[in-house]
Amino acid sequence: MSDSIRNIVILTGAGISAESGIDTFRDGGGLWEKHRVEDVATPEGFARDPALVQRFYDARREAVQKVEPNAAHRALAKLDAEWEGDLLIVTQNVDDLHERAGAKRVLHMHGELLSALCASCEQRHKWSEPLVGNPACPGCGAEALRPDVVWFGEMPYEMDRIYDRLRRADLFVSIGTSGAVYPAAGFVRDAREFGAHTLELNLQRSEGSYWFDETRKGRASDLVPEWVAEILG
Ligand code: OAD
């Protein structure tokens, strides 16, 4: 790895949490085989059947609290602790496994399961309990809490901060994501245009694999610790 690398942006997806026991979306048996996106991951689906949507995220919130970070999350936490340059882990994942492994420089562009967003006062609250049954917002008292996750048709969080980092990135690394969902799927092209080296670590080639300078295929729990050891020298 070149000595000229100082600013790193890492994009993670469901594949990094798969070995912790969290279902991915598009692999065989993945979440989008069992549930229709339109029903559980759009504002229209929520308006149509709020209880169905709350139950879907309640189950995922409960499940996420029963699993543990794996070697890939731990390796990124080590990189975060030891890397002296800029680093941002942009995750599409709504679990908290990066943080539980100890990573600090994490941005949840698709929101977080362990957070509730009040549709009335727009405040966010840490949340580990079910939302079905409409508990009151601790801030304003309205029974208007929804999962603090980004649905299709909504704007992912903190895009300005992400593009600012991509603009300055020397290295962009994508881990465990299929490259099927924009804008995250387009980050590799943006990073390349801004001059970054681009590396993909994934079980199989992603949809945007063509855009990466380098692709390493394998399990995140093997590839990520190897790559982190390499870059930390
Ligand atoms: P996907 O399910 O689309 O893709 C997961 C990727 O991880 C696939 O390319 C797998 O090959 C790979 N993979 C699986 N197991 C792996 C392992 N052990 N090690 C390494 N790679 C592995 O999940 P995402 O790309 O994260 O958005 O999906 C992106 C977005 O689509 C999600 O954030 C979610 C979903 O709809 C919203 O809900 C807004």
- Number of the ligand 1 atom closest to the C-alpha atom of 41: 38
| 84, 140: one domain | no
d(CA 32, CA 131): 22
How confident is the model at residue 2, as a pLDDT? 57
Is the minimum distance from the CB of 26 to ligand 1 under 6 angstroms?
yes
- Is the same domain home to 62 and 130? yes
Task: Say yes or no: CB of residue 14 within 6 Å of ligand 1.
Answer: yes
Catalytic residues: 110
Ligand 1 pocket test target in 11, 12, 22, 24 with most atoms within 8 Å of CB: 24
What is the pLDDT at residue 29? Answer: 87
Tokens 């065989």 label which residue? Answer: 28
Pair (192, 220) in one structural domain: yes
CA geometry: angle 125, 115, 56, nearest 5 deg: 135
- Do both 15 and 125 map to the same domain? no
pLDDT for the residue 225 = 98
- Ligand 1 centre distance from Cα of residue 136 (Å): 33
pTM: 0.97
Q: Could you tell me the CATH number of the domain that includes residue 95?
A: 3.40.50.1220
pLDDT attached to residue 42:
97
Residue 43 beta carbon below 6 angstroms from any ligand 1 atom: no
Pocket test for ligand 1, best of 12, 16, 20, 27 (most atoms within 8 A of CB): 27
Q: Are residues 182 and 231 in the same domain?
A: yes
Query: What CA dihedral angle connects 102, 147, 155 and 11, to 10 degrees?
Result: 20
- Indicate whether 83 and 139 sit together in one domain: no
Q: Residue 28 has what pLDDT?
A: 87
Asked whether residue 38 falls in the same domain as residue 74, the answer is no
Pocket of ligand 1 contains residue 220 by CB under 6 Å: yes
The answer on 160 and 208 residing in a single domain is: yes
Query: Residues 222, 131: one domain?
Result: no
Q: Is 45 in the pocket of ligand 1 (CB under 6 A)?
A: no
113-118, long-range: CB < 8 A, 24+ apart: 113/57, 113/60, 113/61, 113/64, 113/147, 113/149, 114/61, 114/64, 114/65, 115/147, 115/148, 116/145, 116/146, 116/147, 116/148, 117/145, 117/146, 117/147, 117/148, 118/142, 118/144, 118/145, 118/146
Amino acid type, 213: D
- Same domain for 73 and 140, yes or no, is no
Domain containing residue 123: CATH number: 3.30.1600.10
Q: Which of 178, 209, 222 to mutate to test the pocket of ligand 1 (most atoms within 8 A of CB)?
A: 178
Domain that holds residue 213: 1-22+69-110+156-233
75 Cα to the center of ligand 1, angstroms? 19
Do 177 and 216 fall within a single domain? yes
Q: How many CB atoms lie within 10 A of CB 59?
A: 12
181 lines ligand 1 (CB under 6 A): yes
pLDDT (tens place) for every residue of the chain, 233 residues total: 556 899 999 999 999 999 999 999 998 889 998 999 999 999 999 999 999 999 999 999 999 999 999 999 999 999 999 999 999 999 999 999 999 999 999 999 999 999 999 999 999 999 999 999 999 999 999 999 999 999 999 999 999 999 999 999 999 999 999 999 999 999 999 999 999 999 999 999 998 999 999 999 999 999 999 999 999 99
Count of domains for the chain: 2
How far away, in angstroms, is 134 Cα from ligand 1 center?
Answer: 30
5 CB near ligand 1 (under 6 Å): no
Whether residues 170 and 231 fall in one domain: yes
